[in-house]
C-alpha cells in the first residue's frame, strides 16, 4: 500500500533495523522501545488490522507466530516475552498495518494500560 509506513519499511524506502526477514514476514526494532527487546513483526502482505484478516491469511498468521518464537529464541528470550497486538482506535493502534509487538528482556506487568 503506497501510503503505509510499514509497507515503505518493507520496501526499503524508510530505513529500519532489520531483525528477521523471510518470504512472508519482516521484523525490525521499534523506534521507541518499551523494553530492552522491542521488535515489530509484520506480514509483508498489507493487512490493516485484526479485523481485516481473511480466511486465506490463516496460514500466514500461524507463520507469524512461528517467526516470533524463532526471533525470541535467537534473541535469548528463554525466560519469556510478551506479544501485543494493538487493534484499531480503542486498542491503541497508531499504524494501520497489522503488527505484533515482541517485548522482552524485563519482567512484564499486568494489567496493561
By C-alpha distance, which of 51, 62, 36 is closest to 98? 51
Active site (catalytic) residues: 99
CA gap 84, 43 in Å, rounded: 15
Nearer to ligand AMP, 69 or 86 (CB): 86
- Asked if 39 and 28 touch (Cβ cutoff 8 Å), the reply is yes
Nearer to ligand AMP, 72 or 99 (CB): 99
Q: Considering only residues 16, 42, 67, 72, which one is a binding residue for ligand AMP as defined by CB under 6 A?
A: 16
CA gap 47, 4 in Å, rounded: 10
Q: Which are the contacts of 39, defined by CB distance < 8 A and separation ≥ 6?
A: 19, 20, 27, 28, 29, 30, 71, 75, 101, 102
> Within positions 29 to 88, which residues make up the interface with ligand AMP, using CB under 6 A?
30-32, 40, 86
CB of 29: closest distance to ligand AMP in angstroms? 7
Q: Which span sits near ligand AMP by CB under 6 A: 58-66, 67-75, 90-98, 105-113?
A: 90-98
Nearer to ligand AMP, 30 or 57 (CB): 30
Residue 36 host element (H or E): none
Binding site for ligand AMP (CB under 6 A): 5, 14, 16, 30-32, 40, 86, 92-95
Amino acid at each position: 500500500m503506497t501510503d503505509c509506513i510499514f509497507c515503505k519499511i518493507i520496501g526499503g524506502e524508510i530505513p529500519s533495523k532489520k531483525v528477521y526477514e523471510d518470504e512472508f514476514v519482516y521484523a525490525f526494532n521499534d523506534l521507541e522501545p518499551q523494553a530492552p527487546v522491542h521488535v515489530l513483526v509484520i506480514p509483508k502482505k498489507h493487512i490493516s488490522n485484526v479485523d481485516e484478516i481473511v480466511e486465506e491469511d490463516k496460514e500466514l498468521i500461524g507463520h507469524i507466530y512461528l517467526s516470533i518464537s524463532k526471533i525470541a529464541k535467537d534473541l535469548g528470550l528463554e525466560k519469556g516475552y510478551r506479544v501485543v497486538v494493538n487493534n484499531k482506535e480503542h486498542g491503541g493502534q497508531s499504524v494501520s498495518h497489522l503488527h505484533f509487538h515482541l517485548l522482552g528482556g524485563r519482567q512484564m506487568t499486568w494489567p496493561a494500560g
